Amino acid sequence: MSTLSQTSPSTGGSRWLAALAEFFNPRQLASKAQQLLLPLVGILLFLGFWHLAAPQVQTSLGAFPGPADVAEQAGALWQEHQDQRARADKFITMQEQRNERILAENPDAEVKIRDYPGAPTFVDQIGTSLVTVLAGFALATVIAVPLGIVVGLNRHVNAAINPLIQVFKPVSPLAWLPLVTMVVSATYVSDDPMFEKAFLTSMFTVTLCSLWPTLINTSFGVAAVNPDLVNVSKVLRLSFWTHVRKVVLPSSIPMIFTGLRVSLGIAWMVLIAAEMLAQNPGLGKFVWDEFQNGSSESLSRIMVAVLAIGFIGFLLDRGMLLIQRKVAWNE
């Protein structure tokens, strides 16, 4: 025991030294520097080109906004959000004080807290778009993954469903939107609705346009399961659900997540167009309202929205990739 206790510190120290030596290895440092510098160089070149080219493009609202103009409007939009939150907090506080006075005079009185009636800010609209796209994507996943498993396991179902997939897959969201709008308006009738019709219209449009990549990839992944594993499952006489859980899903998870990543990207793109027409108070409506506004700041604000849409799409894809790495245990 004494020998082990005497040698363990030196062993731990040698491990630390080895780790430090590996971290400061010139090749490792050069590789990491390259990974960081190349994207940074690309961004700087893009910003430089944008800065030089923007003044050369003249529109009916003036010159196309450069990076400085867009950054200024981004700050202005954030300040507007902060001011709106302050007014909303003041509005709620005033109602609470009023209710306290009413209850002090009449303890049995019914009091209410009304929501702040102000228009949603740019940050609020980002939140609305994220909720809408995730709801539509979740619904598409719930439909596409089980159906894809069934299609992949049965060649007869595959032959029956495949023509429908090929017909509906390329349909534009602009074609789906009027149909979805009419169906939602006709079927979702309530005096106290839980969801706004614009939200449901945008969500269902996202679902209809984004489920196909997941459905196709799931069916391909299930059909490509190693035949040896399928034979072992038959020999063991596994039930259908056990076969799917123990054999099919572990083998097809990478293909399923590839389809999910593609579907999420499509869902995010479709959402912006759907919100423009359905008037769901998200980023699409923000872009449309600024376009209709036609002020000198509109182009800069639209560019802020464009960059936000692109950056959020990037984060959604990275998030899905991170989930894939945690779930795809057989890679």
pLDDT tens digits, one per residue of 16-66: 666 556 656 677 667 777 778 888 888 899 999 988 988 888 888 788 899
- CA neighbor of 130 nearest in space, from 312, 320, 321: 312
Note the pLDDT tens digit of each residue in 149-190.
999 988 899 999 999 999 999 999 999 999 999 999 999 888
* Of residues 173, 176, 175, the one with CA closest to residue 270: 173
226/254 Cα distance (integer angstroms): 14
* Domains of the chain as residue ranges with CATH: 122-327 (1.10.3720.10)
What is the C-alpha separation between 98 and 111, in angstroms, rounded? 9
End-to-end CA distance of the chain: 41
Burial of 68 (0-12, 13-18, 19+ CB in 10 A): exposed
pTM here is 0.83
Look up residue 327 and give its two tokens: 């779930």
The one-letter code for the residue type at 274 is: A
Cα gap 78→93, rounded to integer Å: 23
* C-alpha distances in Å from residue 86, one per residue of 66, 74, 77, 81, 83: 31, 19, 14, 9, 5
Q: Collapse the DSSP code of 59 into the 3-class scheme (helix H, G, I; strand E, B; otherwise coil) and give the result.
A: strand
Tens of pLDDT, residue by residue, the chain (331 residues): 444 444 455 555 566 666 556 656 677 667 777 778 888 888 899 999 988 988 888 888 788 899 999 999 999 999 999 999 999 999 999 988 888 888 888 888 888 888 888 889 999 999 999 999 999 999 999 999 999 999 998 889 999 999 999 999 999 999 999 999 999 999 988 877 888 999 999 999 999 999 999 999 999 999 888 888 888 888 888 888 888 888 888 888 889 999 999 999 999 999 999 999 888 999 999 999 999 888 878 899 999 999 999 999 999 999 998 888 887 655 4
